[in-house]
Structure 1
């Protein structure tokens, strides 16, 4: 997808291609750090079909604030949730999950986390095409 088109997905800065975490994504994403004081806030933009691997936030959770396009959020063992601008998802610590764009549209969310001593992310297996393609 053209970068100019991705910049229109939300009012927040698109940032740079998310190469540091590319190994944990299927497809291309972009990351823009918005705040590092007290709470970390980043705008994450996913190209159509892009999603991150299953992962777990240990000790500290995460909040997603959807700001553009449409996407998916799924906790392991549960049905996927369709996401649209204005939706807010709280992800408790130790919950295995993934999130990303729908197949035919870009998606952006703010990812918010509060630094907690001992917090870490555990990246797990990719969301397979078979799992992803079942979502409608």
Structure 2
């Protein structure tokens, strides 16, 4: 891997992290009661968004396969959404809170993926060769 490829991966990660933080910031402010919780939540979202962006760039490459794109989004969304559920006490079965957590995570990475696709089409970030 060349330095140029690493730079493009860094750009993809930073772009995706910014998108994820912007998407999640309203929910983070609403759900976090203390500044420390808000900072931690947004930090985790930024790191997750960064890793998503790098992975998405590697996985998608120059391919326009929608299943590949949705698979990366689904994998990141499910892992984040299910990890959030781990700390909740959910009475028997899946509740609206559980579904909301999953859909929020899928939406977060879905929007980040759409933004990254836009950046790739505009050549702000170059696809992996």
TM-score range, shorter chain: under 0.3
Larger radius of gyration, structure 1 or 2?
2
Specify which structure has the bigger relative contact order, considering alpha-carbon pairs within 8 angstroms and separated by 6 or more residues: 2
More strand by share: 1
| Normalised TM-score (structure 1) | 0.25
| Normalised TM-score (structure 2) | 0.26
More helix by share: 2
